[in-house]
Structure 1
Amino acid sequence: MDRPEALFARRYVAIGGRGPEDVVADARGRVLTGVEDGRILRLDGLIDPEAVRVETLADTGGRPLGLELLPDNGLLVCDAERGLLRVDLGDGSVRVLADTVAGEPLRFCSNVVALSDGSVYFTVASRRYPLHQWLGDIVEHTGTGRLVRLAPGSDTPEVVLEGLQFANGLAPSADESFLVIAESGACRLTRYWLTGPEASRGEPFVEDLPGMPDNIWRAGPEGPLWVALAGPRVPPLDVLHRGPAAVRHTAGRIAAQVPFRPTGMIGALAVDDEGHVDHHLIARGSPFRMVTSVCEAAGHLVLGSLREPGVALCEPPAPK
């Protein structure tokens, strides 16, 4: 991986809600996000940060995480409490698409994509720990993350890949031949083939990342995969992950009860469909912490966070 480039913040924008965990941009340069009180917000006017307008579009009644815009003015929402939802951005109505998977309640639905054939794929971060205890899963290294598919016209999701380490962000390749999955607990990106001789098989895509990958976003077929790094790699944690399951279980249960204090190091990666890292952006000592998402909008890199009361607008990197 190339030497990191500096990540420069231009401005921080308060949005009247805490924890814009995922940020996605629409065709008009507006940014949509969900905050911890359940609201789905739209930020308009980012080209002039002094005049940003924040509009409430809907309320999921839960905790929205990953978002996916649909061409029919709809929005798919992974809600950590309610499951996979569909929001009508016109009237704000919310419909549950899936709240169980393989006979279990759908807890900790994390990120979602909709493909051109009408199929929907989404990740489940953990089957053991809920969102407010996410650190327990990272420490225990449970490997209970899943990739799930909802076929066109179906209301019964099916598990297509298991054993993932805190399955998080999700994005398709430009030609939709594979999906890229962020495994936060393993500091890697995994490829799941949709077509070809390897279809339905998962394999490493980019390994040994410098931090824990979170949400993934791409503007379109020509754009890179933007991967948020929620925190730096922690060498003692790598050692623990190689230890006995009983030790990891005990450590995970303790970690789940301890308040998490993120570091001031934040980052983002731009990755192409060959698995090459085009940009590795990093900032140390940042007041804006725990970056969980990144997208491009109105000439900025927009950063979201599970903890902050707003978003950060950053300088985009120069093309290579």
Structure 2
Amino acid sequence: MSPTNSILDKAEPLKLNREIIGPESIASRGDDLFTGLIYGDIIKINKDGKVTTVAKTGKECQGHHWDTKCGRPLGMRFHRGKLVVADGALGILRVDVDTGSIETLTPTGEIVDGKEMSFPDDLDVDTNGNIYYSDASTNGNMRSATLELFGEPSGRLLKYNAKTKKTEALLNGLHFPNGIQLSQNEDFVLVAEFMRARIIRYFLKGARKGEHEVFVDGLPGLPDNIRPNGRGGYYIGLFMPRYPYAKAGENLVDVLSDKPLLRKLIVRIQYLFLSLINTIEVFTGPDVLIDQVRSTVQLLGSNPENMEVPKKSIVTEIDGNGKIIKHLENKIGGAIAISEVHVGPTFTYFGTAVKKTIWKIKTKDLQ
């Protein structure tokens, strides 16, 4: 199936004064953009492309591997002057981007309704300061995400209550939930379900409070973050296009989708290797090389610095009722592996979980 348009080919990479890796989510304050990087940095990008690190959520990394101690800022939103961040390794954080101070609201490992909060991915904040966020998996953490991708669904929609400082589970049994977006009236929250290529709506108010339904189904790609389109609807970044959009072999999730025995075999072999690595570490003690091997096994050989992703790009635009308006696509390249669409008055920006830049396009070119 050939692309229906080439709108995304108009996107251009931001010209920055230093390399960045993995700017998945984007928040803005005035002319400045803020995003999180793959090894825990939260950065500010000014209108001239100057990059400044304003905070670091974790410790300095040793070696080039994805260490949970480093932190991994994912979804982020500004609320009352502070940047609220879902750090996939460390928890829900509130960051003062002017001073660099960080407050942990809910740490990973905290027990929520009988299960550890393991993998916060994205969030949104209501007018009262309550935080709705996705816990992508209770089967494993950020470094063992394959347990969720190839195993049983265990993800959740959680709510942090700003008054009580407590967190509760609103919805269980989601298959790698990531993107979160409140409606304009805050009467429902949308949750992207990566492995099921759909969007769930959970009602927060009204006669259906506490109920949920499928809002959008059968997306032509695996969704990441959901953000407002500025006209009452939403943009959904499809991080991995599905067949027939992706070439054979590009999307491992789809390749293995109809092979449950092979998925089970991969997870079991991975478990055996990790057990062997952990046994070796008992005798050697903590070692950077051993931890790098462990990271490689956990990520099935993928290096988060140069992870291969399909060259096909799709962003789906929906209206406020979940009806698909259009798909934004590419033909020759440009913005790929899109995790989020951040709409500004003049430019719209595309974030990515693994690539080394943020793309921009004139907002009028998307309408």
- 1:224 and 2:236 correspond: no
In structure 1, what is the Cα distance between the partners aligned to 2:129 and 2:148? 32
Q: Which moved more, 1:230-239 or 1:185-194?
A: 230-239
| Greater helix share, structure number | 2
Does the C-alpha gap of structure 1 residues 78 and 142 become closer, same or farther in structure 2, counting only changes over 3 Å? same
Does the C-alpha gap of structure 1 residues 207 and 230 become closer, same or farther in structure 2, counting only changes over 3 Å? same
* Post-superposition offset of 1:278: 2.5
RMSD value, Cα: 2.5
Corresponding residue of 1:33: 35
- 1:195 and 2:198 correspond: no
- Secondary structure, counterpart of 1:257 in structure 2: coil
Consecutive unaligned residues of structure 1, counting only runs of 5 or more, are 46-50
Consecutive unaligned residues of structure 2, counting only runs of 5 or more, are 59-70, 245-251, 271-297
Does the C-alpha gap of structure 1 residues 266 and 176 become closer, same or farther in structure 2, counting only changes over 3 Å? same
Corresponding residue of 1:250: 265
Alignment-mate amino acid for residue 311 of structure 2: G
Q: Which moved more, 1:273-282 or 1:126-135?
A: 126-135
- Secondary structure, counterpart of 1:249 in structure 2: helix
Alignment-mate amino acid for residue 57 of structure 1: V
Alignment-mate amino acid for residue 54 of structure 1: V
- 1:77 and 2:85 correspond: yes
- 1:304 and 2:351 correspond: yes
2:137 to 112, 126, 129: 126
* Post-superposition offset of 1:306: 1.4
* Post-superposition offset of 1:133: 4.1
Corresponding residue of 1:206: 216
User: Within 5 Å, which residues of 2 pair with 1:1-320?
Assistant: 4-6=4-6, 7-13=8-14, 14=16, 15-26=18-29, 28-45=30-47, 51-61=48-58, 62-70=71-79, 72-99=80-107, 100-102=110-112, 103-138=114-149, 140-218=150-228, 222-234=231-243, 241=257, 248-252=263-267, 256-259=299-302, 261-286=308-333, 288-297=335-344, 299-316=346-363, 318=365
Corresponding residue of 1:48: none
For each residue in 1:180-211, what CA deviation from the matched residue of structure 2 results, as whole angstroms up to 9, or x when unmatched? 11111100011000011111111100000010
In structure 2, what is the Cα distance between the partners aligned to 1:144 and 1:213? 17
Contact 1:174 1:273 in 2 (8 A): no
- Secondary structure, counterpart of 1:310 in structure 2: coil
Q: Kindly tell me the number of residue pairs found equivalent between the two proteins.
A: 308
Contact 1:187 1:233 in 2 (8 A): no
Does the C-alpha gap of structure 1 residues 116 and 4 become closer, same or farther in structure 2, counting only changes over 3 Å? farther
Contact 1:228 1:291 in 2 (8 A): yes
Larger Rg: 2
For each residue in 1:56-105, what CA deviation from the matched residue of structure 2 results, as whole angstroms up to 9, or x when unmatched? 221111111110111x2101111111111111123110011002142544
* Post-superposition offset of 1:10: 3.7
In structure 1, what is the Cα distance between the partners aligned to 2:267 and 2:100? 38
* Post-superposition offset of 1:251: 4.0
Normalised by the size of structure 1, how large is the TM-score?
A: 0.87
